[in-house]
Chain A
């Protein structure tokens, strides 16, 4: 058995930022476990720009953004282990990890930060009818093949789903010489950032067909074409609207799913909306000493927010280890539940423990639909505390409200905070 104070599962943007923050909070014995052969996670394949505007006040590419954090990790001499896969974690915080170099190891940690990121929804989970030929890729897999491995995956491309990776790949494939014929989106609005629709589709004259889906895939060996159809409000295809596109490739950008198989093994409670674990204001799951941050917790739109959130998890995990005794003594705390309502899908965190709460807490969430002229309202036990007008709200963009400890202290018996959208009259 190997012992470490803090083990961070995942060396992507969340894991790196958590490690840096933990170290800066005074913790020395940290280990990052990463399954790939480099640190940086999915950022390494995101060679486009647009990263870091919040964190570094400048526009970076994904690998540049990652390299800044990797440099910090190296400068702070935080140990990391590459090419290593975690097979199992239990409630006693024993981690089974395997690699060619070190074989099978068991590590016992005082605290764990889960930062495993997410995966893409595959074709099978989308139930797209038709044949099952080569040439169907999730957008992220194609991105890796093109940007990291240096292979072209297709020449004539249709993209289903207007998530950010799909939009980015529409531009990327075009720049690599492919013809991107259309991007189809099941919903009446895009799931991606507005800026990506402008910069990746409009600037390249790639049509975006909202309320459309793929109803058939053709090609016995390699994709030869797909059929699109318009969908009604029930999201079912409308007969007579079918349109055939010949193509050799279908890219799918139809949602990301947090990779929480290890989290479930531990036995942490899960949130069915985010598909991530339930966490309190310290980003701690309901298994004490196990924290979560980044896309494993909920899917983010900007990496900057991942870094910010992960830094909080890192800091809190360090404090947990350093003050372990003090924290457990201080269990007399008021637990406030956070509730999402009326157009707000979820909140992260889902609860606040006032005794340990920081002075300022950022609560993040997404909305369920595209809304115009609404406000985001915060209620303390039924009493409206704040109201912020928003001209447009969209599910593709993450929203946030900031709660102040001083404000909460004015309500010592507070049980529930509700965050909801309300129509502007």
Chain B
């Protein structure tokens, strides 16, 4: 592949890039999305809290505030259109000290100014009636019934698949190395050839400053801000039912305790600035910090049931707000940069906003053939007995359980591999169907999943990867006897 020509080149296949891709596919234009990793949802979008924020956090008037409330409002409808998991489980911000009450009141006012509905302040006892495991230290909380939780993989992958079904071309393992301005657009050089485009959308996450700075003299600076998390077994998933935040106080910024849409318990994140843009390490200090802070909010957390810890990188821009649209000196280049929390919540609204901006610029006509619907992967475990019986009768592969912890069938894994933008790695399968996400963390199913992936894709076994080239699971040569 030497040269590709398109109207819009989207750089980055995270939740923001995929949202823009989907929204732009509502117009008649030729769209290509390039992603440097082997799959969509491989950077910041894959490792975050999965929270649909209510919208009381951001400063009124900021882009974050505007898109948060809009994004939150859109999420429910979108989850039905695109068949991904979303739940409005409510959130609360806990206050531990009388001196912090004015700050809690201020948060309430800020939320109201941002247009968040149904906010109220609860007393400590009211909080504990709703969440019996909240500690006695809590004296009050801001309660936001519109807060929710979402599967970040589900959301991103659903938008990507739908965009692809509506004509967007996706190229993976493709990293933009340089961008050159031409008379009527841009030329992007990648490790896999040249892309000639009229417009560029920069949704490169923690690398968005690098991409932006290739075309603009108004420099951006994105600091990867690492956040570590602990994920607990489903047995612990009902420890709280809403998302429990902490009001920032004299002990610093707190951590959240939340159920996930899949029923696990998630605790975190920490916040540590770093320079490396893909060093997603977890640390002993981070672990300790999470435990100590979480126990301030919620008592008796069964830390013995931690099944994994992970970390993600927030793309924090020095200006502290989203950077959206064309820089003064780079017409036709659209930034979607500095998208940190509440970026996941904002993504649907951000995508619409930027797509409209690009479409207006390019005078693209509406695509009346656009199909807004996407059907997710059928989950055997979620079906009724009768539905299960019927499905397995018709498709016996749904009767073979491969991942015993999450009860994922071979049929689901095959679907994850063979559908639009299908998985090409173990992590790709995991993000689509949760194979290996349970308590044994893929101990039992790895050998079987590797075989299914090789069988369905024709990739030789020794090249089956965890997450892209370099992460091969098996070594080529088996036997090496020295017979001398």
Q: Which residues of A contact B (CB under 8 A)?
A: 35, 83, 85, 87, 96, 98-104, 119-120, 122-125, 127, 129-135, 137-138, 140-141, 144-145, 148-155, 176-177, 215-216, 220-222, 237, 248, 261, 264
Contacts and interface: CB of A to CB of B under 8 A. Distances in A.
Interface string B290-320: 0000000000000000111110000000000
Residue among B279, B465, B467, B473 having the largest count of chain A Cβ atoms under 10 Å: B473
A141 B447 contact: yes
A153 B478 CA distance: 8
B218 interface: no
B447 A123 contact: no
Contacts of A153: 473-475
* Most B C-beta atoms less than 10 A away, residue of A98, A101, A120, A148: A98
21 contacts: A87-B407, A98-B401, A100-B396, A100-B398, A122-B307, A125-B307, A131-B279, A134-B473, A135-B473, A141-B442, A141-B446, A145-B446, A145-B447, A145-B474, A151-B474, A153-B473, A176-B478, A177-B479, A220-B279, A220-B470, A221-B467
Contacts of A220: 278-279, 470
Interface stretch (B16-24, B102-110, B113-121, B386-394): B386-394
A120 B440 contact: yes
Contacts of B462: 151
Contacts of A248: 475
A32 to B, nearest CB: 17
A99 B476 CA distance: 33
A289 to B, nearest CB: 24
B307 A103 contact: no
A222 B470 contact: yes
Interface residues of B, number: 60
Contacts of A148: 447
Contacts of B461: 151
Contacts, number: 148
A154 B397 contact: no
Contacts of B468: 221
B441 interface: yes
B2 interface: no
A261 B471 CA distance: 32
A351 B231 CA distance: 36
B466 A133 contact: yes
A134 B465 contact: yes
Contacts of B441: 122-125
Contacts of B476: 152
B100 interface: no
Contacts of A152: 474-479
A124 B307 contact: yes
Contacts of B472: 134, 222
Given A125-B307, A134-B467, 17 more contacts: A85-B404, A98-B392, A104-B399, A119-B440, A122-B443, A124-B309, A129-B281, A133-B466, A133-B471, A138-B443, A148-B447, A149-B451, A151-B478, A152-B475, A152-B477, A220-B279, A221-B468
B385 interface: yes
7 nearest A-B residue pairs (beta carbon): A124-B308, A221-B470, A177-B480, A122-B441, A134-B466, A100-B396, A85-B401
A215 B282 CA distance: 11
A330 B109 CA distance: 70
A274 B475 CA distance: 37
Interface in B439-461: 439-444, 446-447, 451, 461
A144 to B, nearest CB: 5
Contacts of B405: 261
Given A176-B479, A177-B480, A221-B467, A104 B385 contact: yes
A146 to B, nearest CB: 8
A129 B287 contact: yes
B123 interface: no
A98 B399 contact: yes
A35 B475 contact: no
Nearest to B308: A124
A100 B467 contact: no
A83 B392 CA distance: 14
Contact of A144 (B278, B281, B404, B447): B447
B284 interface: yes
A215 B284 contact: yes
B481 interface: yes
Interface string B409-441: 010000000000000000000000000000111
Contact of A221 (B393, B410, B442, B471): B471
Contacts of A124: 231, 306-309, 441
Contacts of B481: 177
Given A103-B399, A104-B385, A119-B440, A125 B306 contact: yes
Contacts of A135: 473
Nearest to B395: A100
A120 B481 CA distance: 30
B400 interface: yes
Interface in B255-276: none
Contacts of A125: 306-308, 439, 441
A127 B444 contact: no
Contacts of B471: 133-134, 221-222
Contact of B443 (A119, A133, A237): A119
